Chain A
Amino acid sequence: MNIHEYQAKQIFAKYGVPTPRGIIANTPDQAVANASELGGDIWVVKAQIHAGGRGLGGGVKLAKSLDEVRELATEILGMTLITHQTGPEGKLVQKVYIEEGADIKDELYLSVVLDRAAEMPIIMASTEGGMDIETVAHDTPEKIIKIAVDPAFGFQGYHGRELVFGLGITDKAEQKKMIQFASKLYNLYMENDAEMIEINPLIKTGSGDFIALDGKMGFDDSALGRHPDIEDMRDISEEDPDEREASQYGLSYIALDGEIGCMVNGAGLAMGTMDTIDYMGGTPANFLDVGGTANAETVAKGFEIILKNPNVKAIFVNIFGGIVRCDRIANGILEATKLVDVNVPVIVRLDGTNAAEAAVILKNANIDNVIAATDLGDGAAKAVAAAKGE
């Protein structure tokens, strides 16, 4: 689960990680009130969406008067912001964060992420703050410092020294501030079961203070149960409504832009099914894993969600039953054809547990647009042909 910048900064503040002062606003009036409450003569109006690249997309702007705050908040609130991370459809901005202006001397980069190979968190830092870190990693990998921290022992002095010497920070007072900053960030990463924290840029001010000018946080979904305060930060308007509805039925659904709806058990086979469709010249319309407890109701729901997508020209049901019993899936398909208007060809491949019973169920039901397939390759070929109207 991801959260907004302003929420990440609330968590930072709780741990003593320095951030600029700011207040969230839903309306231009609030934005102006927030700016006057913060005081000063320069403010930043920042669109709050779950995607990076907001500045380049026109979602982060500087205001030098309260009138300008109003003007910019009016412009940004309600705009559909398109960045390299939102996809071409963009994201609607519903909140703006009003922040005091900062005195930027240097821009750095700092993040904490899980290093899957080391099986522990790593702190990544760079002097190239404010840039796309993927580009830095690609073009000048030597400018990224990586420091693994073993959770069994925690953040130690040497981690801090590697960090500040690596960043070329020579002033003693500044070294101390940066080490504290990183140590607090590591602790909040661990204590909150974060998946990643990224601060880009982390600025050094004219007076040698380090401040998180931006903040991005994602959390381990599996651990949210023990962090109700973080679960409360969930912004459902940032989530795809179909994906969300599917998850309530234990289905894992992701919309794609192709024509063949997929209903598969198991994430790996679901991806493999998409790949096979793609390989045979078709295009998958979605990823859908019905999970290990699929029954008639969830299968019917799956059909309903797949068919909401107007691009779908055929559906490929590909089940290799282990825990999932094929006869239940077959009954689900029958149920679905009663509950939902299934107006496209449905190619069905059921193999594994109770596949023979399932075949009998489908054969006896004799539904017009249900086409049986013998294996994965056969099913994908038939689905591709059906989507092309062959």
Chain B
Amino acid sequence: MSILVNKDTKVIVQGFTGGEGTFHAEQCMAYGTDIVGGVTPGKGGQTHLGKPVFNTVKEAVAATGATVSMVFVPPAFVGDAVMEAATAGIELAVIITEGAPVRDMQAAKACATKNGMMTIGPNCPGIITAGECKIGIMPGSIFKKGNVGLISKSGTLTYEGANQVVNEGFGITTAVGIGGDPIIGLSYKQLLQMFQDDPETEAIVMIGEIGGDLEIQAAAFIKENVTKPVVAFIAGQSAPPGKRMGHAGAIISGSAGTAKEKMDALSAVGVEVVVSPAEIGKAVKKVLS
């Protein structure tokens, strides 16, 4: 078991024939992901990486039965691409692209919600179910199969966390990079619920950062709904207020959104909160033993 994606998931790539799309689609296929085709407007009918290219998502879905789209289109076209996927019957769009305008994502998210499509990202490493399906840009070799679910706003901290979990002798069910933008798709709450319901997942690692209040909401949700042990790290304890730390959403405005406030909220509901990401692996070992 796992959450959201597995070896049977049929995936298309929007922005299939571009440089990034090509490189990462190839890597995903090498990992075992069932990429059934892709969409590049104007290149319909061609074959790329041995898979069919379509002009529209609608055509791609009709021909392949794909349920998931991995979105690699340039930032200015992300909103459009996500809305196209949502209205073409895609069930989950994994949006890797960084730098999509916030206004576009407001519209895209609203459209996705209206059409019952889930989204992950944008500006994220994607999702991986260890040993089965990688939809994104993470180095697949780190993610050994196991019993720990991972949710993270940061790409490289996802790798760091997963690597430590594996080095402690455990492994990953599914890891989801939710992205660090102000507007994102699936968030801690929904994913915590999915991991709680997944029989194979025995512990959950959540990695957050300064800015916004998703982690605070997650704490309230954990209190009511999550019985599995949760380990958390919040990046940005040493970040100065008012500065944007790389991610568009990673900014402390005034006194809100600080690492401390989030760590306190999570600790208060029994989450094992670590002060350094170097402690994630050990904390997982502690809660699982």
Using A268-B209, A289-B246 as known contacts, say yes or no to A116 and B183 having CB atoms under 8 A apart: yes
Contact A256 B245 (CB under 8 A): no
Q: Which residues of the partner chain A approach B288 to less than 8 Å between Cβ atoms?
A: none
B116 within 8 A of A: no
**Residue of B207, B210, B212, B243 contacting most chain A CB atoms (<10 Å):** B243
Q: Is A320 in contact with B156, judged by CB distance below 8 angstroms?
A: yes
A-B contacts at CB below 8 angstroms, number: 165
Question: What is the CB-to-nearest-CB distance from A64 to chain B, in angstroms, rounded to a whole number?
Answer: 36
B interface residue count range (under 10 / 10 to 19 / 20 to 34 / 35 or more): 35 or more
A275, B235: Cβ atoms under 8 Å? yes
A260-299 vs B, Cβ < 8 Å mask (1 yes, 0 no): 0000111111111011111110001001010000000000
| Interchain CB contact (< 8 A) of B249 among A85, A116, A137, A225 | A116
Q: Mark B11-46, 1 if CB is under 8 A from A, else 0.
A: 000000000000000000000000000000000000
Q: Report B-chain residues with C-beta under 8 Å of the C-beta of A225.
A: 76
Q: Are A269 and B157 in contact (CB under 8 A)?
A: yes
**Is B99 part of the binding interface, using a Cβ–Cβ cutoff of 8 Å?**
yes
Whether the pair A274, B110 counts as a contact (CB closer than 8 A) is: no
Asked if B156 and A195 sit within 8 Å, CB to CB, the answer is: no
Residue pair A375, B246 in contact (C-beta under 8 Å): no
Contact pick for A220, options B76, B103, B259, CB 8 Å: B103
Is B233 an interface residue, CB under 8 A from the partner?
yes
Residues of B within 8 A of A269 (CB): 154, 156-157, 160, 235, 277
Query: Does A270 contact B139, Cβ atoms closer than 8 Å?
Result: no
Closest B residue by C-beta to A135: B254
Is the pair B157, A272 in contact by a Cβ cutoff of 8 Å?
A: yes
- Which residues of chain A from 151 to 196 have any CB-CB distance to chain B below 8 Å in the complex? 151-152, 190, 193, 195
Q: How many residues of A contact B (CB 8 A)?
A: 54
**B269 an interface residue at 8 Å Cβ cutoff?**
no
A114 at the interface (CB under 8 A from B): yes
A59 within 8 A of B: no
* Residue contact B156 to A223, C-beta cutoff 8 Å: no
Q: Which A residues, 219 to 273, have Cβ-Cβ distances below 8 Å to chain B? A: 220-223, 225-226, 252, 254, 256, 264-272
**Interface residue A321 (Cβ < 8 Å from any Cβ of B):** yes
Report B-chain residues with C-beta under 8 Å of the C-beta of A32. Answer: none
- Tell me whether A266 and B275 are in contact (CB under 8 A): no
Bound-state CA distance A263–B85 (Å) is 38
- Cβ distance A295 to chain B, nearest Cβ, rounded Å: 15
Interface of B is mostly: loop
Answer whether residue A122 sits at the interface, using C-beta atoms and an 8 A cutoff.
Answer: no
Is A268 in contact with B154, judged by CB distance below 8 angstroms?
Answer: yes
Q: Contact mask B64-77 → A, CB, 8 Å, 1/0?
A: 00000000000110
**Best-surrounded residue of B183, B213, B247 (most CB of chain A within 10 A):** B247
In the complex, A289 Cα to B248 Cα: how many Å? 13
* Interface contact B277-A267, CB-CB below 8 Å: no
Q: A151-B106, A152-B110, A223-B103 are in contact. Are A116 and B160 (CB under 8 A)?
A: no
CB B182 to nearest CB in A, in angstroms, measures 5
Q: Which residue of B lies closest to A51 (CB)?
A: B242
Give the residues in chain A near B259, CB-CB below 8 Å: 275
| Pair B276/A377 contact, Cβ less than 8 Å | yes
Contact of B182 among A116, A134, A353 (CB under 8 A): A116
**Does A370 lie at the interface of the complex (its beta carbon under 8 Å from any beta carbon of B)?**
no
Residues on B with beta carbons closer than 8 Å to the beta carbon of A222: 75, 99-102, 248
Whether a CB of chain A sits under 8 angstroms from the CB of B155 is: yes
- A308 at interface (Cβ–Cβ under 8 A)? no
Kindly list chain A residues whose C-beta atoms are within 8 Å of the C-beta of B210.
271
Q: A320-B163, A322-B137, A323-B137 are in contact. Are A271 and B103 (CB under 8 A)?
A: no
Q: In the complex, what residues of A have CB within 8 A of residue B101's CB? A: 193, 220, 222-223, 226
* A-B residue pairs in contact (CB < 8 Å), sample of 23: A134-B255, A152-B107, A152-B110, A193-B101, A195-B102, A222-B100, A254-B243, A266-B154, A266-B157, A268-B155, A268-B157, A272-B233, A272-B277, A275-B275, A275-B276, A279-B276, A287-B245, A320-B159, A320-B160, A322-B155, A323-B137, A352-B139, A352-B163
Chain B interfacial positions (CB closer than 8 Å to A): 75-76, 99-104, 106-107, 109-110, 125, 137-139, 142, 152-157, 159-160, 163, 180, 182-183, 207, 209-210, 212-214, 217, 233, 235-240, 242-243, 245-250, 254-255, 259, 275-279
Closest 7 CB pairs of A and B: A268-B154, A267-B246, A266-B156, A377-B278, A223-B101, A269-B156, A271-B235
By a beta-carbon cutoff of 8 Å, the part of chain A in contact with chain B is 85, 114, 116-117, 119-120, 134, 137-138, 150-152, 190, 193, 195, 220-223, 225-226, 252, 254, 256, 264-272, 274-280, 284, 287, 289, 320-323, 351-353, 375-377, 380
Beyond A152-B110, A220-B103, A352-B142, 11 extra complex contacts between A and B, CB < 8 Å: A116-B214, A119-B106, A222-B99, A254-B240, A267-B246, A268-B153, A269-B235, A272-B277, A280-B276, A287-B246, A322-B155
